[in-house]
Structure 1
Amino acid sequence: MQLTPSPVTATVDFAAPGVNHGFLRLPYSRDDAAWGSVMTPITVVVGGDGPTALLTGANHGDEYEGPIALFDLASSIRAQDVTGRIIIVPAMNWPAFGAGTRTSPIDRGNLNRSFPGRPDGTVTQKIADYFQRVLLPMADVVLDFHSGGKTLDFLPYCAAHILPDKRQQAQCFDLVRAFGAPWSVRMLEIDAVGMYDTAAEEMGKIFVTTELGGGGTATARTAGIARRGLRDLLVAAGVLRGEVQARPTQWLDMPDDDCFTFAEDGGLIEFLADPGDRIERDQPVARIFPVARTGLPPVTVTARRAGLFMARHFPGIVKPGDCVAVIGVEIGDDHAV
């Protein structure tokens, strides 16, 4: 069966030596441009015969540490410093990045829940299909930057998943260690269906991700963590010349669904603890005030396990079903893999 070709075309040559900047052009007919296109910036750096690293940010468009680090890398990298190939896509969901939203303003697609995508689907599905069938197969190592966006705030961490292939898993955690974020996490996903992570891991790629803050912005600290971690991960992966600058990191585990606490009521949230605090099981972490009228008592939200408070809901108003808090378990480095 012949597969439908991707409608996305690259204006860069993925094999050309040196530093090459261009676009991934996806035709998109719209009211203000009948023959318009989505133009996603891309940089390809070829400096040697070593491994290929695929670097992505703004998988969700309201997360900024990754784009900062990757636009900076694309503007400053030299081919002579590269021992393999680096493919840089600072904003893989370009429509969402332009709008400052988690999902695409074109089709409301969540790119990180759209894999493997479709070449004849929505704009978001077409982007996912191109990564699935063109970019991911080129890569040996994949780093996908995330942070909390407008709705979550995280302790800054780098992470990888527990995988069936323990050799692949160990390689992933070796690069998490090299990234050197203040926290390093054996990450559990609430909803892994259609994720970029899963697509890369199922191809056998070394996949690493982050959560570096949140609130729909980046700070000097979190952007600095992204820049330093990116550089050291590339060195450790054998793609960039240099030496890894070792930094201390605290390892966290997310062993089960009890790490996540969800709101069952909507209203105004008051947190009773902050990220970085140590929490006991059944400890109150927040109160939710009903706001439809005065005089009603708040509802207390409690932690489902003991551990370190590692992420919280960011906006002051919550809805039923929103994730309010995430609790991780502190572990030693020797338990990371």
Structure 2
Amino acid sequence: MSENALRPSPISPTVDFDADGVQHGFLRLPYSRDDSAWGSVMIPLTVIRNGKGPVALLTGGNHGDEYEGPIALFDLARSLKAEDVSGTVIIVPAMNYPAFLAGTRTSPIDKGNLNRSFPGRPDSTVTQKIADYFQRDLLPRADVVLDFHSGGRTLDFLPFCAAHILPDKDQEGRAFELVKAFSAPYSMKMLEIDAVGMYDTAAEEMGKVFITTELGGGGTATAKSAGIAKRGVINVLRHAGIVTGSAEVTPTTWLDMPDGNCFSFAEEDGLIEPVFDLGEEVGEGAIVARIYPTGRTGAAPREIRAKMGGILCARHFPGLVKAGDCVVVIAVVVS
């Protein structure tokens, strides 16, 4: 047993996960600070239970500047009734609550990126403590995990639901069935740049059926993207047999990110000119963006070319880029 496992989590829930009915409460994390010596971070959550059955863990706000998930989950927490549930639904609309309140990707307390902090530690920073609690207390309860994401302030995506290619093909297949049920306009076989420390990886390594989304970006939500999130989460719960009713399935376009050639990165700072918009077809070798140096006029822009053909599924959002920023992501349409 690891040293971490021997230390209790400082987080205490104000709800009883084994009690039937609807409970609205908090995950209370003690946090001593200048303005509150015995203060706490109070992470809102709702637990809806109706007898034995499968457990769904629904999360948003893993990054604090992504809003479709919190919108869908705050709405679900107020509207879902216990009599419509068979099993348990655990709803955490804003996992990284300090980041959510600040509207930032990472925590303003410790600069922690929650989605790169797993398995976490019970004796470290606030973000590490949140990760540890999910790792040891919430993920083990779940059968199905849906973690909402979008592009935040720095990326914009075609709206898709996604799962990962996994060694366990039965686990992978069940995940992609949930992706299909979510019924976003696009469905993705997703490749991560670096999966180490991710919430996704923690859930998948436990054998959980894990799906995620990218539903827009630019640090805001739209009526369309919020609607996709709200319909999708109910569809997932219905498909999993946790909520009564049939999923409202609509046509989806399946996409694949086959390898690292999907990604193109800036190699210098500058002003970005997009050449293609989201959803447009891109040929291998095509110029997908130009980056203009901003220190003086008259200099030629650096051209960013596609390493593969496909459709543009993500792009850098702000008008200025820095060296190392992801500029575009291309995916391949699959049947």
TM-score after normalising by structure 2: 0.98
2:113 maps to 110
Match of 1:267 among 262, 270, 275: 270
Quote the offset at 1:48 in angstroms: 2.8
State the distance in 2 between where 1:52 and 1:227 align.
19
1:203 to 2:206 alignment: yes
Quote the offset at 1:265 in angstroms: 1.6
Match of 2:6 among 3, 7, 11: 3
1:253 to 2:253 alignment: no
1:137 maps to 140
State the distance in 1 between where 2:282 and 2:19 align.
53
1:79 maps to 82
Q: Secondary structure at the match of 1:63?
A: coil
Match of 2:31 among 22, 28, 31: 28
2:17 maps to 14
Match of 1:325 among 322, 325, 328: 328
State the distance in 1 between where 2:227 and 2:44 align.
22
State the distance in 1 between where 2:50 and 2:78 align.
16
Quote the offset at 1:293 in angstroms: 1.2
1:89 maps to 92
Q: Which residue type is aligned with residue 185 of structure 1?
A: M
Q: Secondary structure at the match of 2:150?
A: coil
Quote the offset at 1:296 in angstroms: 1.1
Match of 1:165 among 154, 165, 168: 168
Q: Secondary structure at the match of 1:87?
A: strand
Match of 1:285 among 273, 288, 306: 288
Please show how residues 45-84 of structure 1 align to structure 2 within 5 Å. Answer: 45-84=48-87
State the distance in 1 between where 2:51 and 2:285 align.
54
TM-score after normalising by structure 1: 0.98
Q: Secondary structure at the match of 2:129?
A: helix
1:311 maps to 314
State the distance in 1 between where 2:248 and 2:325 align.
38
State the distance in 2 between where 1:246 and 1:74 align.
22
State the distance in 2 between where 1:50 and 1:25 align.
27
1:125 maps to 128
Q: Secondary structure at the match of 1:245?
A: coil
State the distance in 2 between where 1:311 and 1:72 align.
27
1:248-274, CA deviations, whole angstroms, 9 ceiling, x for partnerless residues?
000000010000010112100010111
Q: Which residue type is aligned with residue 34 of structure 2?
A: D
Q: Which residue type is aligned with residue 41 of structure 2?
A: V
Match of 1:221 among 203, 224, 227: 224
1:101 maps to 104
- Structure 1's consecutive aligned runs of 4 or more residues displaced over 2 angstroms after TM superposition are none
Q: Which residue type is aligned with residue 239 of structure 1?
A: I
1:149 to 2:152 alignment: yes
Taking only aligned residues, the RMSD between alpha carbons, in angstroms, comes to 0.7
State the distance in 1 between where 2:10 and 2:209 align.
27
State the distance in 1 between where 2:131 and 2:249 align.
34
Q: Secondary structure at the match of 1:45?
A: strand
State the distance in 2 between where 1:319 and 1:117 align.
29
1:335 maps to none
State the distance in 1 between where 2:207 and 2:242 align.
18
State the distance in 2 between where 1:67 and 1:301 align.
34
Aligned-pair identity (%): 69
Q: Secondary structure at the match of 2:6?
A: coil
Q: Which residue type is aligned with residue 243 of structure 2?
A: L
Quote the offset at 1:280 in angstroms: 0.4
Quote the offset at 1:283 in angstroms: 0.2
Q: Which residue type is aligned with residue 56 of structure 2?
A: A
